[in-house]
Structure 1
């Protein structure tokens, strides 16, 4: 409210503004009480839960010194964090409000009910804890939502706001953080003080024409970032686990971020040039796919977006490219066991990464386990991988190149046969794993080891734990 007048008929006499400090009015004793007594200042249907709240503690149990001016609850079920300044706001006032919002976002119904009870008791009202709890529940339209409590709305009330605050709040609002700026003005009219509260940001026009589109853009950007992060994390997991050897062939199967009609269009487009359907994997976390379509290296999402744009003529939005590429099990790398490789049929990179999450290349547990497998018993690459938290393929690759692995001959493929890719670390050896197992008492039916000598998963786990 920039101008205030006293009116007498056709005459309007301007009223000079004053300030809270000039009139000896204090932040907590006066401005805070105005807000508590008139919660409509904070928006529609706001219930004041507490004021001057400081009963939080840090991780050491030491009470924090921060004091929240006012905490409210609106009818939608969102908390309202209020920061008050009787003069022009400090340059970092929005940081204070955000800190309080973060602290109260972990409150639950019980915490809020206790705070409300203490607040009312301090004002001479003896209300039971259960009654306070019910009062909060009754104030909310619809069901109580813990999720909504985690997204408090913030209201900063001050006599003025520096540009650093307004510029930052505009950007935070566009990023989907709700912060209202309310300006308090004070005038002296015929011996009486008149206070006015004006919401200076966001105005209805800003909310409709600026914030809404900006927030949609922010959500879209956040979604794209999330999908990119998922794809990048999946690639890191696969590379760290050593699941796919360099040279692994991948086949294009468009999934995430497409519709049925777009997928059909991509299939037709690939039909024009079959090289577009395949890529080669290399263990590079940045650009692990070499596309046969042009021989260029891409990230999984980068290549998926390239294909999407080439077919549709539109820019892709947040495609998780690791869902687009399946392992081509018809092409078996030299270093893998064909039977184990066949288990990857129809599996995309994202699915493989979910299986391997938490796996890595620390083979200490593998060496410990193999050293504990007794003579006359055998296990499989897949079972060993399950127990140590890996996958059959990297286990097999490691055993094929490891010169320190105990008893590697006691690990067979899923069919109970010696892997066709088994190699001794000592190239002069002429015996086979089957020869040694037979000498240890394992019976063979042709080239397949007897199942009664196979260790169960429980037995393997006990060997590793023991």
Structure 2
């Protein structure tokens, strides 16, 4: 608070600001005790575990000289490392907080229980270690997680912060390290001292609109390169598998790396021009998306980042763009079985890549299977895909283009019908697949082949085993 007034009707009288040093108040004896008595200034539901902790030692067994001001535990199960300064914080105060966070990140429940027990004992409350352990467990909502202890939250409390600290803390927060800055102020009001604690960073607005991608997604920003690698891998898998034909329509649903508030902003932005929500797939491993809004080629993540920046005016890292784009199954590409295409509904590019991971473009086994489907028998795209480790869509695409596939007309949809997308590799042929099948002895009932004549997955596998 920069300005504080006493108010008497229309009259507001400024209150003079003072400081802890000016009032002969000390860091340890006063400020620290205020925080211990009122841990809500550190955040919601914080239990003070210990204070003035110095019971660690280096690898040689020599006790360390570092003394942690306050250590708390919040209800999520994360430790809260608190550094206190009664005046303006030192330029390297954040480095001190990080050092303490690194030290306590190796603590386990037993270490914390003993530290809490010793802390309470010094303050005149004698509890045994088991009681202290249970007190810690009871404070945490849900199960105790050792993994969460390895990611402490840090809080620096000071009268003011130099720019070196605020700039560093902003960057560290964007990198996924939680550091809060809390400013302590002191005023003299009618002979009494009034203390105030104000969280100056991150403010709710900053947390929502600036740090949200890092904090909401948690690990995602810290693993930015890993997420980019995942996106690249997904594109390569899809191209190699031939799952998405050239010209496949994709629709955008913003997911990974953005908050719900930003998603709502993106939806409003798209409503102004619906072309912004659509793209066309090309089998280019570098930039497979042609965006309807400008016709330019993008990678999935590159386009997601571009859209984020267009909406928010800021750049962002950590978005995995392949999670933003879904197949528009209402638009069936030419030559694709509509039933097989419908199975892609509700899956983003990342999920689709998982479905076909390991798929090869070596169709030798497929040709072997097709050669084993004899006259008077039929099979399905799905059965063939399952046996060779592919998907019905690339199977259909291959049959449509390959001039060497044995008897492609003997492959039908899951319901036993000729696919609307079926076409002869030789465009000069004018007979229909159904007429050829009927001539080979396949019985049809209203366009549906006799299920008794179907070669199913088990029978197809025997062709390969032999």
Normalised TM-score (structure 2): 0.54
Compared CA separation, residues 243 and 276, structure 1 to 2 (3 A): same
Gaps of 5+ in 1: 7-14, 18-30, 56-61, 105-110, 183-198
Residue pair 1:174, 1:214 contacting (<8 A) in 2 also:
no
Compared CA separation, residues 343 and 95, structure 1 to 2 (3 A): same
What residue in structure 1 maps to residue 351 of structure 2?
Answer: 354
Offset at residue 112 of structure 1 (A):
0.6
Offset at residue 461 of structure 1 (A):
6.9
Q: C-alpha offsets along residues 441-460 of structure 1, whole Å, 9 cap, x if unaligned?
A: x8501586542243444666
Offset at residue 357 of structure 1 (A):
2.0
Q: C-alpha offsets along residues 4-47 of structure 1, whole Å, 9 cap, x if unaligned?
A: 798xxxxxxxx9x9xxxxxxxxxxxxx9xx99999839956512
Q: C-alpha offsets along residues 138-161 of structure 1, whole Å, 9 cap, x if unaligned?
A: 5x3866675975652236799xx9
What residue in structure 2 maps to residue 179 of structure 1?
Answer: 179
Offset at residue 53 of structure 1 (A):
5.3
1:398 aligns with 2:390: no
Residue pair 1:443, 1:450 contacting (<8 A) in 2 also:
no
CA distance in 1, matches of 2:168, 2:391: 48
CA distance in 2, matches of 1:177, 1:114: 23
CA distance in 2, matches of 1:237, 1:46: 50
Question: Where in structure 2 are the equivalents of 1:109-120 lying within 5 Å?
Answer: 111-113=108-110, 115-117=112-114
Compared CA separation, residues 464 and 172, structure 1 to 2 (3 A): farther
What residue in structure 2 maps to residue 382 of structure 1?
Answer: 382
Offset at residue 79 of structure 1 (A):
1.4
Compared CA separation, residues 438 and 144, structure 1 to 2 (3 A): closer
CA distance in 2, matches of 1:346, 1:280: 19
Pick aligned residue for 2:207 from 199, 202, 215: 215
Larger mean CA deviation between 168-177 and 319-328 belongs to: 319-328
Gaps of 5+ in 2: 1-18, 41-46, 85-89, 183-194, 256-262
CA distance in 1, matches of 2:453, 2:49: 71
CA distance in 2, matches of 1:165, 1:263: 36
Question: Where in structure 2 are the equivalents of 1:182-201 lying within 5 Å?
Answer: none
What residue in structure 2 maps to residue 284 of structure 1?
Answer: 284
What residue in structure 2 maps to residue 96 of structure 1?
Answer: 99
Q: C-alpha offsets along residues 356-401 of structure 1, whole Å, 9 cap, x if unaligned?
A: 4252463279644764785556532223334555421112223445
Compared CA separation, residues 177 and 99, structure 1 to 2 (3 A): same
What residue in structure 1 maps to residue 73 of structure 2?
Answer: 74
SS at match of 2:49: strand
Question: Where in structure 2 are the equivalents of 1:2-151 lying within 5 Å?
Answer: 3=21, 40=36, 43=39, 45-48=47-50, 52=55, 72-74=71-73, 76=75, 77-81=77-81, 93=96, 95-100=98-103, 103=106, 111-113=108-110, 115-117=112-114, 130-138=130-138, 140=139, 146=145, 151=151
Residue pair 2:288, 2:298 contacting (<8 A) in 1 also:
yes
CA distance in 1, matches of 2:60, 2:462: 47
CA distance in 1, matches of 2:231, 2:306: 17
Question: Where in structure 2 are the equivalents of 1:334-349 lying within 5 Å?
Answer: 336-337=335-336, 340-344=337-341
SS at match of 2:383: helix
What residue in structure 2 maps to residue 21 of structure 1?
Answer: none
What residue in structure 2 maps to residue 12 of structure 1?
Answer: none
CA distance in 2, matches of 1:43, 1:351: 44
Offset at residue 96 of structure 1 (A):
3.3
Residues paired across the two proteins, number:
390
Pick aligned residue for 2:442 from 431, 441, 444: 444
Question: Where in structure 2 are the equivalents of 1:314-329 lying within 5 Å?
Answer: 322-323=324-325, 326-329=328-331
CA distance in 2, matches of 1:121, 1:462: 71
Compared CA separation, residues 239 and 66, structure 1 to 2 (3 A): farther
SS at match of 1:444: coil
What residue in structure 1 maps to residue 7 of structure 2?
Answer: none
SS at match of 2:80: strand
CA distance in 2, matches of 1:393, 1:117: 61
CA distance in 2, matches of 1:144, 1:299: 40
Compared CA separation, residues 396 and 149, structure 1 to 2 (3 A): same
